[in-house]
Amino acid sequence: MVSIIRNISFDCRDVELVGRFWAAVTGYVDDPSNPNEPGDPEWVLLSPSGDGPALLFLAVPEDKAVKNRVHLDLQPDDSREAELERLLALGASLVADHRRADGAGWVVLADPEGNEFCLERSAQQRLATMERTA
């Protein structure tokens, strides 16, 4: 017996703000049978392909106070640098930059309510680094 991940849940004060941010980041969309509306206490976003877990945003009264114990690692379909610019323009903030001169490493960002996530290299960038070191 195993369990599958149905939702990845985010506690947030403003579910619409955080939900819209993550929809723009991931391309996830409203559940057609239960569209997200302003004032809803929770938002659900589904992968457009129907694969993978949904993102669930739950309203809570308190602000984020400490570092996340779980976070998402994102891999862009383009370059990490282009995606970093896009995410910052969407409202992410830079927390820490762990990029290395050889192209490896990652960037730690936070969504509009401070939930940390990491931005890694794209698959093409990983392959290019492996080919240079081989």
Instruction: Indicate whether 44 and 108 sit together in one domain.
Output: no
Rounded-to-integer distance, Cα 111 and Cα 12, Å: 11
- In the chain, pLDDT over 70 holds for what percent of residues? 99
Q: Which domain holds residue 127?
A: 65-134
- pTM value? 0.89
Closest CA to 117 of 88, 89, 78: 88
User: Where does the pLDDT of residue 14 fall: very low under 50, low under 70, confident under 90, or very high at 90 and above?
Assistant: very high
User: Where does the pLDDT of residue 9 fall: very low under 50, low under 70, confident under 90, or very high at 90 and above?
Assistant: very high
Residue 97 pairs in a beta bridge with 107
Report the CATH number that the domain containing residue 122 is assigned in CATH: 3.10.180.10
Instruction: Check pLDDT > 70 for residue 111.
Output: yes
Closest CA to 110 of 77, 76, 64: 64
Instruction: Check pLDDT > 90 for residue 98.
Output: yes
Q: Who wins on pLDDT, 66 or 89?
A: 89
Instruction: Check pLDDT > 90 for residue 97.
Output: yes
Residue 116 pairs in a beta bridge with 110
Instruction: Indicate whether 126 and 76 sit together in one domain.
Output: yes
Instruction: Check pLDDT > 90 for residue 68.
Output: no
Instruction: Check pLDDT > 90 for residue 54.
Output: yes
